[in-house]
Amino acid sequence: TVSAGLYPGRQEIAVDVIIHMEQVFDKAFFIDAFNSIFNELGPAQAMFGAASKSPNVSALLDAASSIVAFDMSFSTGIKVRDALSVFTRGVDAAASPFFRLNDLGVFAEATILSADLDIFPGVTVEGGDFLLSAGVRIASPFEGEVTAGGNMASSSHSLTTIAFTPHGQSKASLPVEVTINGSTQGLVIKFEDDNLFDVVNLHPTSLSRRLTSEQSIEVDFPVCPIISVIDGLLSKLGSLELSPRSILGPIATAGLDLADTLDDFFPNLSLFIDGILEVKNEIFHLCAEAAETGIVGPLLEDVITMIKEEILEFDSIEECPTGRRHRALREAVIHRATASRDIFKRTTGDHRGRRALRKTHQSARACRARDLPYNRFTRPPRSRRLQTECSVTELLDGISIIGGYDGTQIFLKLELDVSKEDIEDLREVILKPLELLSEAEFLRELNLFEDGDSLADSVFDNIEADISFSAGAHMGATVGFEVQGDEFIQIPSMTQAQIASRAFIQFDDISAKFTTTARVSGDMDIAGIGNIGIENATVTFAFGLGIVEISDKIYFNEISSVLLSLKEFPKWQKVGMMDITLPILATIEFGEGLGLTLGPLISITSPDLFTPDFPSISIDLNLEELIANGEDLIASLLSRLTDGMIDISTDGLSFNGGPFGEIQGILDQFGLDFNDLISEFMGRYNSFKADLLTMDIDMQKIFNLRPISLPQFPSILQIGSKLPSIQYSLELNNLLWDKLAAAFPSPTFNGVTIPNIPPGQTFAATFSRGKFPVELFLPHIAVAFGFASSFSDNEALSFSMDKLFMPNFGPDLAFNILDSMKSNPDLNGAFDRFSALSGSGFPLDPITSEVFDINNYLPEIQFSLNFAPSINFVASNFRASDLFDALFPKSFPTVKSFGSFIKKDILSKIRQALSGLFDAKVNIPTIGLSVDDITFGFDGFSLGSYTELNNELFPPMIDVDAVQEFGFDFIIDVVDGSLLIAAGFELNAVGVNPSNTLSDISTSLSGLLADSGDQFVSIASEFGSAFESTEELFTSIADRITLSLNANFNVEASVELSVEAISFSTKINELKSDLLAVIVDAFDVTIVETLHITASVQLRLQAESTNSPFDLSTLEELLFSGDFEAVVNVALDYVPSEISLRAYSPFLTDAETLEFEAALDIDLLPIQESINAAFEDISALSYPTWLTDTAGYLPDIDLTCVTSSGMNFLNESIANSTSATITSLLHAIRIGCSSSTLVISGGYDYAKEELEINLLLETSKNLNM
């Protein structure tokens, strides 16, 4: 097939060609594949009496026919930016010829249709169908430049570098009738694997994981013999409903009073799922008829078909207006019953122009009770009434049901996508956040508004709001019954208790979200503030919830109710955020005579709507306006912040370690440079702005009315309906209606009847302005806007509204985005290959002639633009149309949005600074991740991976605020009538271990300890020890030392804007650093056979500003202090003594050398009685009588704590058979007498041969004389 023409949406004059060829292929090549597939059937063979038997694959192969097919789709032509000039002046030298390969692949297929054969001994297939297909296809479309001679511009062999991926599928429907133990059953063996080459095995052990993939291998069977099981499964599946209010329980909603009406924002899934209960009743009725009349009872596939029919019939209400409820039927995800015959009907092609893999066709309807020739039993009354008055606001987006027996369990898996078409009082919901403005004190200080004091309540009657919204939910759940193949005929005799212990429900993928965008203009009267005029304001907020991981199986004997199980068993996570920007129709002039005039913005934001905290309400400024009018005040602000960081890092907190020399701290590494951030941010915005201006006027208008999806919060993109029906704003619908009415003024277009319009009618006559189902007219929109030439071509069939909501992505913008990818070190230079220019100015790979296309690299773009912390945690639903809103959530650059940009971008700078220092802790939820704690360092984030059962609905989102040790913020406030803009950076590191910075300390410490070796050896020699060298000892001690730093640092640069002047300042709010080196775990080193070493070390250094906050000019006002103590103890076998060597310095920063002190500690238990007598003497100490008679006012002497603590310690040592040395005794007394007025010291002086305990008591008494 061939089509050609001008495609304005693609900016091309092009010819599109699709080629398909087939020829016969030797089917003997399939023998190994056939054997592999049937090997997977092993666990289920016992069900039809073929346990351990080998399948007759040869008979299958004899019945098969095979072909090899070749598919190719390409486009060629010229790129055009101004179509009018091309047709009036011809193609000039600037035009760019191109060749694009859309699809290229080859497939081999083996097919069996309606074959009769013996598949196992004694098991005959009648009318069986089978398909096996395998081949390769290009991984993504290829586009290259073409020379005037028709060759590829850079290399005639460039096509050989295209990447290919394997594709293949297997499908089978093999009906068999078998008799086991006198019971005859009609079964159907079914295979379905839509991707033979994915990473999941064809028959994995986990049912839940298998059902989320594209594989299915199962056996269909009559349900009447096991009606007791089927009835229970359908009861639980039909009881599913999604009530966010019930799941979340009592919650706060950031002062917006939405908790009680939370369910109103989400679709009611039970309206559709209730049909499963109708099917349950009808199956029971059909099985009763089958037992009485002998008719063939329904198969499980019939049950699936009946469920689909019930749900689809509810969604298709004939009495409702044309096009009211058919969105789901347009999408390929909805299939009617899977037929057991003729399942391989050919299709014409998929959205990439390739020949589609064979798919099941729509079957005849399932046998229903109403189809029976007569009814012996009264059919149960229908409890579910169709809503013929069209009051239901739910739209069915998609439905999928699969089921069968896989050899270990019977299962039914339901996936349902539903959207809400209307929400009552949505305008009032949009205005709720604006009611909070009456609490914003800065609005009063601006003194721009009048008559505020006279208003008791806020009034919004003059506000106009153009609202779009999306409210959707996805329900994925599985019910099943565990049973082995040889147990199948035993099911009818099982008790209810046995069934309940095997039947289960499993929650696979459930989520819901509401998101809305309103463009607001008009006047609002705010109580206590006055009349505020706003224009082109945007109100965006979203909230939702979902399960993080597939739940465990929940057995029926554990369930009290399905709704309660849904609340308790899955791991739920909720998200909610708000971003509102209100441009005020007023201006403020700053700096007398400087000409700086700014229009302030009101910003209302909340990163978590499910919190008691009210949203943040603050003033904001248009950054583009501020730069244009304010001599780049923000650049000056960031420059001063940079200077402050550099001053600290170069002149700041280096420690004077006394004997250890000069020691560098953490803050010496953090000279971060903020200077280039403003140019990077505004450069990217200007690239987008210039690109948008190249769009035609209609496209620009539509872009400005697009729904904002809040893509800066990736979870919002992931949750909810997989195919949401977005309710676009009235103004956007009007623009679309106008375009369609103009493009299709008659009932036909190019001789073809216009789809979805009654015969003989025009689009404008069928639908009133703005009132038409957009989702049903996407091909029409593609044609009307020039993206496609006809309703049936590939561009039209695959068209989505996203294409209207994205920029052109011209060369300048493409290079801007590509540069961010090239500068990402974690992409390992993968995009450096785009080093040349195409004829139209786009980045080009000169080797492959590939032109850089944004849409092909969205994961890498998300990672490089800091929307995701790594390539493994990007949002799969992120689209090219989300790029602008992710970068500029307020639709234009503001100071606040620039601050958000810095919070992400600065992480790369901090990462470089952390090299060799420490790993910072990250405070984000780790539910659903393979790690319990997340850190951030020179190697990036330690996020691990998603857990095996993670639904990937909640990708981790990280900025500097989530990193525990760091913080950055832009602050805009009104202070005494002046506008204050401040940028601040904060470091708060506690207990970090910067190995490179502190390695010199460890070396110095080991050396200084070794200096005491001579004294140590001389003490040991007096005890006859063979200890001669301290090298091994002090090496062991140094290896045990833990080094850590604490650092607190907060620098702020600000600019104050007043009517009179503009003034800058830079100050340090906090500056402090501590260094600590300790041995945290006791250890014992044996040097020689009789010598055992224990050690303790503590080094402390501190630097702290004496007067915070202070200006950078007074940085020298710092107080340095520090101390050091190291004690090494030596115990000798068979000798009740312990040698100790102490090296110390109480004023380390002022010392040149360490002081050393040697002592001997002995075992006190042999002299316990003498020591106890001494303790009793101590407790009896008092003033002499002559003194107390003269000076009765003296304070009491009370040393009883010394006696009790010491004697208790000795008694416990005897009772516990532990040693009692002088050191440990003194320690016990210090603990027992925890008073600053009592100083205890002592030890054994081996020179004097004396044991001393010294007590210094300082005591006082206050008297009223």
Q: How far apart are CA 898 and CA 895, in angstroms?
A: 5
pLDDT tens column, 724-751: 999 999 999 999 999 999 999 999 888 7
Task: Please say whether the beta carbons of 1056 and 587 come within 8 A.
Answer: no
**Average predicted confidence (pLDDT) for the chain:** 80
pLDDT tens column, 531-587: 899 999 999 999 999 999 999 999 999 998 898 999 999 999 999 999 999 999 888
Is 15's pLDDT higher than 90?
yes
Which among 171, 173, 162 is positioned nearest to 195, based on CA atoms?
171
1064: helix, strand or coil:
strand
Is 631's pLDDT higher than 70?
no
Is 396's pLDDT higher than 80?
yes
Q: What is the pLDDT of residue 1107?
A: 66
Work out the average pLDDT over 203-226. Answer: 55
The residues facing 1255 across adjacent strands are 1240
Is 1250's pLDDT higher than 80?
no
Q: Which two tokens stand for residue 559?
A: 């369930």
Q: How far apart are CA 210 and CA 442, in angstroms?
A: 57
Structure-model confidence comparison of residues 1166 and 1005, the more confident one: 1166
Task: Please say whether the beta carbons of 599 and 625 come within 8 A.
Answer: yes
Is 1084's pLDDT higher than 70?
no
At residue 1022 the predicted structure's pLDDT band, cuts being 50, 70 and 90, is low
What is the amino acid identity at position 821?
M
Which among 343, 66, 330 is positioned nearest to 190, based on CA atoms?
343
Residues 6+ apart with CB under 8 A from 381: none
Determine if the pTM surpasses 0.85.
no
The answer to which of 19-33, 176-190, 1024-1038 has the lowest mean pLDDT is 1024-1038
pLDDT tens column, 853-870: 999 999 999 999 999 999
The answer to which of 129-138, 142-151, 471-480 has the lowest mean pLDDT is 142-151
Q: What is the pLDDT of residue 1253?
A: 82
pLDDT tens column, 67-119: 999 999 999 988 877 666 777 776 654 567 888 888 899 999 999 888 888 88
Q: How far apart are CA 621 and CA 633, in angstroms?
A: 12
At residue 671 the predicted structure's pLDDT band, cuts being 50, 70 and 90, is confident
**β-strands 1118-1132, 1110-1111 pairing:** unpaired
pLDDT tens column, 156-168: 445 666 778 888 8
pLDDT tens column, 409-451: 899 999 999 999 999 889 999 999 998 898 888 888 877 777 6
Work out the average pLDDT over 285-292. Answer: 84
The residues facing 75 across adjacent strands are 16, 100
Work out the average pLDDT over 992-1008. Answer: 61
Task: Please say whether the beta carbons of 1107 and 1069 come within 8 A.
Answer: no
Supply φ then ψ for residue 223, to 5 degrees.
Answer: -95, -20
At residue 510 the predicted structure's pLDDT band, cuts being 50, 70 and 90, is very high
Greatest Cα-to-Cα distance within the chain, rounded to the nearest angstrom: 130
pLDDT tens column, 308-348: 888 887 655 444 443 334 344 333 232 322 222 233 333 33
Which among 402, 394, 423 is positioned nearest to 315, based on CA atoms?
394
Structure-model confidence comparison of residues 526 and 1081, the more confident one: 526
Q: What is the pLDDT of residue 951?
A: 93
pLDDT tens column, 866-923: 999 999 999 999 999 999 999 998 888 999 899 999 999 888 888 888 877 788 899 9
pLDDT > 70: percent of the chain: 79
Is 1040's pLDDT higher than 60?
yes
Q: What is the pLDDT of residue 945?
A: 93
Q: What is the pLDDT of residue 1262?
A: 81
869: helix, strand or coil:
coil
pLDDT tens column, 233-285: 999 999 999 999 999 988 899 888 888 889 999 999 988 898 899 899 889 88
- CA atoms lying within 13 Å on the CB side of residue 852: 32
H or E stretch at 513: strand 503-526
Work out the average pLDDT over 1058-1081. Answer: 77
H or E stretch at 688: helix 677-692
Structure-model confidence comparison of residues 1103 and 58, the more confident one: 58
Which among 140, 132, 164 is positioned nearest to 60, based on CA atoms?
132
Residue with tokens 């003059």: 462
Task: Please say whether the beta carbons of 75 and 97 come within 8 A.
Answer: no
Q: How far apart are CA 519 and CA 430, in angstroms?
A: 10
Structure-model confidence comparison of residues 707 and 210, the more confident one: 707
pLDDT tens column, 764-786: 999 999 999 898 899 999 999 98
Is 593's pLDDT higher than 60?
yes
> Left, alpha or beta for 1243 (phi > 0: left; psi -120 to 50: alpha)?
left
At residue 1038 the predicted structure's pLDDT band, cuts being 50, 70 and 90, is low
Q: What is the pLDDT of residue 577?
A: 94
Structure-model confidence comparison of residues 907 and 1009, the more confident one: 907
pLDDT > 90: percent of the chain: 31
> Left, alpha or beta for 976 (phi > 0: left; psi -120 to 50: alpha)?
left
